[in-house]
Structure 1
Amino acid sequence: MGISLQDYLAGKPTELATGPIAIIICEDQTEVASTLRHAEYAGFRLVLALSPEPLPHGFTTPNTRNLIFDARRSDAHVRAVNQINEAVKPGTWLYYGYNAEYLFFPFSESRRVGEMLTFHTEERRASMLTYVVDLYAPDLTTHPNAVDLDDAMFDQTGYYALGRKNAQGDYLERQLDFHGGLRWRYEEHIPENRRRIDRIALFRAKPGLTLHVDHRFDDEEYNTYSCPWHHNLTAAVASFRVAKALACNPGSRDEITDFRWRNSTPFEWSAQQLMDLGLMEPGQWF
């Protein structure tokens, strides 16, 4: 049957003592194996693959732990991240994402995520802004679930940011709401509270820290894109998740026959391509 996330954390495994740790929420089995391999290649010391049922043999990698968890709930990321945050050593760097999502960071072809996070920590940062860049198949006839790693495409323009306000209507310092990609082009099919493409996908564990459903933390400094004195590193999550939902959900699948438009471009699986388009930046890290 496999061990549950709750039982795994209750056992206080020593492997949780050292990060960085990746949390992969497996909503279904689409590209789970490639997602886990990508996380291992990025340099995560431990990958926690959370799935409703045990993953098939061959999906996992040597540093992956497959844990049983109700990953299909709409608030699955909240429950998973908050539980793991409390279980690991304070200060441990954590990443969270979903299956068919792939983390890219500046120079990630040649440098490991731990090296980048060490630098980010030295800049007194406890979190890192990531943009979720929507990937999609160019041909929904041959790939009806919109997932195609070999010929993936994405939008090279159409991204923008708006000032973020608090409940009183005041603008929050160093916080922005970012928009673009499929969530922008097909906003009529996306609930308003899910149209942002910013996610603090990399952060340092802290006792009592709470992630909310909207991918923001209760500590406002964690939600900032940089420190007050200069620009910091940012990263990107290349994701088929929205395309897959739009292509498969009954409310949108019959209205979408092709995700391509005049600003679609092939995805090169390259950090440099994302930096060239301004979808992430190296800050002071070279």
Structure 2
Amino acid sequence: MQYDSISHFLRTGQEHLAKGPVALIFAEDDVEINTTLRHHLDLGFSKVVLFSPAAFNIAPELAEKCPRVTLESPRGEPMFDAVNAINDAAIGVWLYYCFNSEYLLYPFCESRTVGEMLTFHTEERRDAMLTYVIDLYATDLETNPNAVSLDSALMDRTGYYALARNDPDNHNHPKERQLNFYGGLRWRFEEHIPADKRKIDRISIFRAKEGLKLRPDFTFSDEEYNTYASPWHNNLTAAVCSFRTAKALKFNPGSTFQIQQFKWHNSVGFDWHSRQLLDLGLMEPGQWF
């Protein structure tokens, strides 16, 4: 199940998009690709599709389960173009996208599949789900210089906040049921992060729709997709637990020598369990019990 390009995949691999939810994994580097694929397979995605440079290797058993699409630069514009192309080819199907070394957790994910969650979300008349990108980082950067360690991962237990999302097309009035969320490493090391990259909210889970476009700030062209709740009550939210920012801060020449460690007094060990994120207010169960 190897495809030379996205166009090749869309021409000959349509069966992989016939039933959702489908996970789209974009490998920016070769760090923890296998664990990312296994994690999302275990959540119950119907298909987990890997987009990566041809040079990256994955475990043989995963190569049999996960369709692979060659994408030599799986970040920035090519990544957004890929998501939008998949959207156009899979109308009505629930899609999820993330990068390697990112792991989706949602309320009760230990006992309920992602399909069960999205069935409920669909019954709530929702076509998208807000996710918070929660930064993970290794305890010891000397032992783990790329800042990635699944066994000793830390996260921030505080420091998260939201600001109104103003609408430039409506005299900068706040948009209804939309907020910009901040926190984690992008907040603590904001001097190394461009201002337009500091948000931690991402609409990672959505139902494909004709004409829908994912924008460079991880929001969609349909403004209702960008809302955190419906008009009548709160809805489910989820978390994408991610080593991506930590890796970037350590790989970037402008920041790597300025950061000796990410651990601080508000660091806490990451439990890899949805209850921890629920207790910290980093995801919302809505009406789902």
Paired with 2:231 and 2:53, the residues of 1 have a C-alpha distance of: 42
Q: How far did residue 72 of structure 1 move?
A: 4.1
Q: TM-score, normalised by structure 1?
A: 0.97
Structure 1 residues 103 and 124, CA, compared in 2 at 3 Å: closer, same or farther?
same
Q: Deviations over 1:5-24 (max 9, x none)?
A: 22111225223110000000
In structure 2, what residue type is equivalent to 1:142? T
Cα–Cα, structure 1 residues 277 and 73, in superposed 2: closer, same or farther, change >3 Å?
Answer: closer
Unaligned runs of 5+ in 2: none
Which residue is 2:271 aligned to?
268
Deviation digits for residues 231-278 of structure 1 (CA, Å, limit 9, x no counterpart): 000000000000000011100000000001110000000011000100
TM-score if structure 2 supplies the norm length? 0.96
Q: 1:278 aligned to 2:276?
A: no
- Local SS of the residue matching 2:138: coil
Q: Following TM superposition, by how much is the alpha carbon of 1:83 offset from its aligned partner in structure 2, in angstroms?
A: 0.7
- Taking a change above 3 Å as real, the CA distance of residues 19 and 211 of structure 1, as seen in their structure-2 partners, is same
Provide the residue aligned with 2:30 in structure 1. Answer: 29
CA separation in 2, counterparts of 1:16 and 1:2?
14
Measured in 2, the distance between the counterparts of 1:234 and 1:73 equals 24
SS in 1 for 2:40: helix
Structure-1 residue corresponding to 2:205: 202
**Secondary structure in 1 matching 2:30:** coil
Equivalent residue, structure 1, for 2:194: 191
- Cα deviation, residue 61, structure 1: 5.4
Unaligned runs of 5+ in 1: none
Secondary structure of residue in 2 paired with 1:217: coil
Is the aligned partner of 1:68 residue 2:70? Answer: yes
Superposed CA deviations along residues 130-159 of structure 1, whole A, max 9, x for unmatched, are 000000001000100000000000000000
Q: Give the letter aligned to residue 19 of structure 1.
A: G
1:65 maps to amino acid: P
Aligned to 1:79: 81
Runs of 4+ in 1 over 6 A off after TM superposition: none
Contact 1:40 1:61 in 2 (8 A): no
Q: Offset at 1:3?
A: 2.4
Q: Distance in 2 between matches of 1:219 and 1:77?
A: 19
Q: Are 1:211 and 2:210 counterparts? A: no
The two structures, once aligned, show a CA RMSD in angstroms of: 1.3
Distance 1:78 1:193, change over 3 A: same
Residue 231 of structure 2 corresponds to 228
Alignment length, in residue pairs? 285
Q: Distance in 2 between matches of 1:229 and 1:219?
A: 19
Structure 1: how far apart are the matches of 2:102 and 2:78?
16
Please give the secondary structure, in 2, of the residue aligned with 1:30: coil
Q: Is 1:110 aligned to residue 126 of structure 2? A: no
